[in-house]
Amino acid sequence: MILVAMLLRRLHKASEKSISVLARQLNLSGVFPPIVTPFNDQEDLYLEKLRDNVGVWKNKGFKGYTVLGSNGEFKYLSLDEKVKIVETVKEEDPGKIIIVGAGEESTKLTKESVAELAKAGASAALIYSPSFYKGSMTASAYFQHYLQIAEVSPIPVILYNVPANTGIDIPVETVISLAEHDNIIGIKESGGNVVRIGTISHKTKHLDFQIIAGSASFMLPSYSVGAVGTVAALANVMGEDVVALHDAIMAQEDCIQLQHKLIEPNTAVTAQFGIAGLKFVCDNVGLYGGPCRSPIQPLSNEQKEKLSKIMAHVGIQCS
Catalytic residue IDs: 188
CA distance 266 to 203: 30
Q: Report the side by side order of strands in the sheet with 124-128.
A: 64-67, 97-101, 124-128, 157-161, 184-189, 210-213, 229-230
Residue closest to 207 by CA, chosen among 223, 188, 193, 187: 187
Which residues have C-beta within 8 Å of that of residue 300, sequence separation ≥ 6? none
Task: Give 66-79 as a DSSP string.
Answer: EESSGGGTGGG--H
CB atoms within 10 A of CB 51: 16
Helix, strand counts (H, E) of the chain: 14, 7
Which residues have C-beta within 8 Å of that of residue 109, sequence separation ≥ 6? none
Q: How far is CA 121 from CA 53, 77, 184, in A?
A: 18, 17, 18
CA distance 263 to 152: 39
CA distance 209 to 249: 19
Query: What angle do the packed helices 256-267 and 301-312 form, to 10 degrees?
Result: 170
3-state DSSP assignment of residue 173: helix
